[in-house]
Amino acid sequence: MRHIIFVFACLGLLFANWGKEQKIYYAIEMKEQLVGYAAIEIAKDPQGNPLCKSSVYARMTLIGGFADYKHEEKIKFSAEYKPYFFDNNFEQGTTKGGAITYVTEGRARVIAKSGGLKTIKLPPQIQFEVYPYYNFLRNFAGKKRDYPIYSDLLKKVQTVSYEKLGTERLNFYGKSYNATVFSRSNQDSGEREKLWMDISNGQVLKSKSTASTIYLANSSVVDQVESIPKNIKYVSLKSLSSSVMKIDTVYKYRYLYNGKDIGSDLFSFRKDEQMYSFDAKLNLQGLNTTTKWKLADSVLPNMYSLKGSDKDTQYSQTCKFSEDEIVQKFAKNARKSTQKKKLESKTYLYATSNMGLFCTLISSIPLAKDNVAILKLFNATTGKFLLMKCKVVGEEKIFYNNRQVKTWKIDILLGREVVYAWVNSAGMVLRKEQGNMIVELLDD
């Protein structure tokens, strides 16, 4: 949490962009889950000088925090584009705080809203780390440099080292950026992070630390975060022994992209002693994979394996689960690798292109209008944890397999992706829509 406070503590100086009134948005992820956003508004005060307002909201309860976090800040600038006034407020549960800071003549005069006055001497070369703009890095020379940085929330001057690592190409919401990559090390606190910056204007595009990942977004991130129910209800799935899917039955889904049939996904559901097994085969325009996965009756995973090919590439993957760890092994042509993930709570299995897994999860959501269910998943395709947040919108008729049928519509936020599903009264997925892709169950 301290990292978020520090990152959004002040919004500083960019000469080229302060004349432009605009609103900039960032997404905040923790433990690989979208949990919050920052909305930054650049405007003008009555005298025509830059005025910045920022609002940060993080749903800390989604990742086990005791309370959500809110932070508001306003910064005023002089006609010379120098920050001279900071007003910030934060709240987390019953904890509230904030301060007003005046910067003048090489000093920061801090008035805490809980009471107390503090004056801090600032060195002549002082810099302000700022979202969205780190203006001082636009003229970065050499490979590594140290800067004295002042934070109005921490009320300290600290030494921060920046090292240039290279360049990368980033894409956000259909727009491409040439990013200069820096490593950042706070010599006083020991905090480390990685920054991606548009060096042409000093804008931070992305930052990543051990605590969080923050990246450029658009206004839709506000709805994504705020639409997550405040009363989180993590659900345990129905047992596979009561599954809507039938033992020794093959199910076939067809894939349509922009209305064009591009392939199919077949999977079968079987029982082998104390475990349930699924075999699936995906064929999508040159992409061919076969997968096998085993689950306990509780739907918790035991094993997942995949073999596939795409043009000249052969690849395979195994994923084994124990009570507290996941071990993944990968092979791509002659290259092999292994990675391990710690399990801290009940986690279900998911694979991006496997309809059988998707159906298993969705079929266990209780069908009642406005019912909300949240599952913690491990995505075997990407090797990351994510949340699946499902809301049963209500009953809806759809045209399916040349006839009109009654279904239940479920809106799903899968990580950062929006997915829609229509299921029959038994909970079987008849149709899934995600972007331009439609996946539909075919009749026997």
pLDDT for position 102: 93
Regarding predicted confidence, which is higher, 15 or 432?
A: 432
Residue 238 has, within 13 A of its CA and on its CB side, a CA count of: 17
pLDDT for position 245: 82
pLDDT(426) > 80: yes
Percent of the chain with pLDDT over 90: 30
**Residues 130, 37 share a domain:** yes
pLDDT(225) > 80: yes
pLDDT for position 5: 41
In sequence order, the 6+-apart residues with CB closer than 8 A to the CB of 224 are 34, 37, 413, 416
Question: Per the domain annotation, does 122 fall within a domain?
Answer: yes
**Residues 54, 9 share a domain:** yes
**Residues 257, 167 share a domain:** no
Please state the φ and ψ torsions of residue 259, each to the nearest 5 degrees. 85, -5
- Strands 348-350, 372-379: pairing is parallel
CB atoms within 10 A of CB 234: 11
pLDDT for position 444: 57
**Residues 26, 109 share a domain:** yes
**Residues 429, 357 share a domain:** yes
Regarding predicted confidence, which is higher, 67 or 398?
A: 398
pLDDT(32) > 80: no
Average pLDDT, the chain: 84
- Best CA proximity match to 267, nearest among 255, 251, 256: 251
Domain span including residue 432: 240-289+346-441
- CB-CB contact of 423 with 431 (8 Å): no
- Strands 325-332, 335-342: pairing is antiparallel
pLDDT(375) > 50: yes
CATH no. for residue 39?
Answer: 2.50.20
Give the helix ranges, DSSP H, for 113-176: none
Count of all residues that appear for the chain in the document: 444
Cis peptide before 132 (omega within 30 of 0): yes
- Give pLDDT tens digits for 244-300: 888 888 889 999 988 889 989 988 888 887 888 888 888 888 778 888 888 888 888
Most confident range, picked from 8-22, 154-168, 258-272: 154-168
Question: Per the domain annotation, does 313 fall within a domain?
Answer: no
**Residues 33, 111 share a domain:** yes
Of 191, 226, 261, the residue at which a domain comes to its end is 226
**Residues 261, 139 share a domain:** no
pLDDT for position 1: 45
Cα distance between residue 41 and residue 55, in whole Å: 9
Of 201, 226, 251, the residue at which a domain comes to its end is 226
Question: Per the domain annotation, does 294 fall within a domain?
Answer: no
- Give pLDDT tens digits for 117-131: 999 999 988 888 877
- Give pLDDT tens digits for 167-194: 999 988 888 999 999 999 999 888 899 9
**Residues 102, 23 share a domain:** yes
Cα distance between residue 407 and residue 404, in whole Å: 10
**Residues 248, 209 share a domain:** no
Question: Per the domain annotation, does 58 fall within a domain?
Answer: yes
- Residue 15's pLDDT band, with cuts at 50, 70 and 90, is very low
Sign of CA dihedral 168, 10, 175, 263: positive
pLDDT(155) > 90: no
CA distances to 121, 278, 300 from 239, rounded to whole Å, are 64, 15, 10
Which tokens sit at 64?
């086990």
Tally of structural domains, the chain:
2
